[in-house]
Chain A
Amino acid sequence: MDPSHRIVPAAATKTASIQDTANTLGLHDTLRYGPRSLATETRTRTELPSRLSKWEETQDNAKLTMLRNVHGLHAPARLLMERNIVSHSPHMPALPQTNLHLDILMGRDETLSPGDFFSGMENGHSLDIHTDMERKLRM
Chain B
Amino acid sequence: MNAFVDRFANSSSVPGVQMRSRDAVPADSDDLDNGLVLSAWGSEAGFGNIAQGAPTFSMPLVIDPAAFLRLHTDDHADPSCRIKLAHGTTTIAFKYQGGVIVAADARATMGSYIGSGTVKKIIEINPYLLGTMAGGGGDCSYWETYLGMHCRLHELRNHERISVAAASKYLSNLLYSYKGTGLSVNTPLIFASQGPAVYYVDADGTRMKGDLFSVGSGSTFAYGVLDQGYRSDLSDAEAYELARRSIHAAGHRDAFSGNQCNVYHVKQDGWTFIGNYDLSELHYEGVGNSGGYGYEMRTAGQSSSE
Contact = CB atoms under 8 A, between A and B. Distances in A.
B54 A39 contact: no
Interface in B50-106: 53-61, 63-66
Contacts of A15: 56-59
B183 interface: yes
Contacts of B41: none
Interface string B122-154: 000000000000000000000000100010010
Interface in B208-227: none
A5 to B, nearest CB: 5
A13 B30 CA distance: 27
Nearest to A76: B8
A22 B153 CA distance: 15
A135 B65 CA distance: 34
Contacts of A65: 8, 13
Given A65-B13, A69-B11, A14 B173 contact: no
A102 B178 CA distance: 39
Interface string B1-16: 1001101111111010
Size bracket, chain B contacts? 35 or more
Interface stretch (A24-32, A93-101, A108-116): A24-32
Interface string A82-111: 001000000000000000000000000000
Contact of A18 (B4, B15, B64, B177): B177
A134 B134 CA distance: 43
Contact of A26 (B54, B66, B178): B54
A16 B64 CA distance: 12
A123 to B, nearest CB: 18
Contacts of B276: none
Interface residues of A, number: 37
A5 B12 CA distance: 10
B181 A38 contact: yes
A42 B11 contact: no
Contact of B27 (A1, A22, A25, A28): A1
Contacts of B150: 25-26
Nearest to B65: A42
A38 B177 contact: yes
A46 to B, nearest CB: 9
25 contacts: A2-B7, A3-B7, A3-B15, A16-B56, A17-B56, A19-B53, A26-B53, A26-B174, A38-B177, A38-B178, A40-B180, A42-B181, A44-B63, A65-B8, A65-B13, A68-B8, A68-B11, A73-B8, A73-B9, A76-B7, A76-B8, A77-B1, A77-B4, A84-B30, A139-B29
Closest 4 CB pairs of A and B: A39-B180, A17-B56, A14-B59, A2-B15
Interface of B: 1, 4-5, 7-13, 15, 23, 27-30, 53-61, 63-66, 146, 150, 153, 170, 173-174, 177-183
